[in-house]
Amino acid sequence: MSIMDPTNADRAELAMRCIDHFCDPFDSDVRACITDMVSQMLHLANVAGISPDEIIESARGHVAHEIAHDSAGKPSQYLAARLAAMKEAA
């Protein structure tokens, strides 16, 4: 994973590593884990005086730009294995 020039797969791996620290390790519902993590971040924004709606809108713009302009990259073995394990457990 390159911090200076990350691919979209690098970004996805970073998010999965956050989920691994945040969610129950036996939870196989990746959608629920992502939703919970994003919700907690929006609570942080609210407490910090930042509009959660502005965060969501800004994030949507970032994702659209990165998908359109940055390399997709190849998922690392770690990311591929974690996603496969979650699908298998579901």
Q: What is the mean pLDDT of residues 12-39?
A: 87
In a domain? residue 26 = yes
Q: How confident is the model at residue 1 (pLDDT cuts 50, 70, 90)?
A: low
**Would you call 85 helix, strand, or coil by DSSP?**
helix
pTM of the predicted protein model: 0.79
* Structural domain that includes position 77: 8-89
In a domain? residue 16 = yes
Whether 3 and 64 have beta carbons less than 8 Å apart is answered as no
Q: How confident is the model at residue 3 (pLDDT cuts 50, 70, 90)?
A: low
In a domain? residue 29 = yes
In a domain? residue 3 = no
Number of domains in the chain: 1
In 3D, which of 31, 47, 39, 48 has the Cα closest to residue 86? 31
In a domain? residue 54 = yes
- The whole-number pLDDT of residue 42 equals 97
The predicted-structure confidence for 28-86, as pLDDT tens digits, reads as follows 788 888 999 999 999 999 999 999 999 999 999 999 999 999 888 888 999 999 888 88
In a domain? residue 31 = yes
